[in-house]
Amino acid sequence: MQKAAFLMRLKPGHAAEYERRHDEIWPELSAALTAAGISDYAIFLEPEQGLLFGVQQLAEGHTTAELPKLPIMKRWWDYMADLMETNPDHSPVAQPLQQVFYLA
């Protein structure tokens, strides 16, 4: 298993709606994430700056690089684009983070 962590940013005033939409995540999106090898996925919010910290476990042989090609992923990005900083294709602007410490 590999762990991936990243930062994203919400637009001001959208924290509650971001959380609501994730509380109602589409089953077909959850299935696609799981099928790609993602598990133990969590997103945390730092509310003052609107920073989102995501962390997920990636199975060996994961296919997360294929997710952007899926129609369900593109629909989710379009659905979330009004709430967060995005790239031109509506994918979230995400900054990968390097692990510098781990305590098991």
| Backbone φ and ψ of 15, nearest 5° | -60, -45
Q: Is 22 a catalytic residue?
A: yes
Helix or strand holding residue 73 (H, E): helix 71-80
- Identify the active-site residue in 14, 22, 62, 90: 22
Please provide the distance, in angstroms rounded to a whole number, between the alpha carbons at the two ends of the chain: 14
Residues noted as catalytic: 22
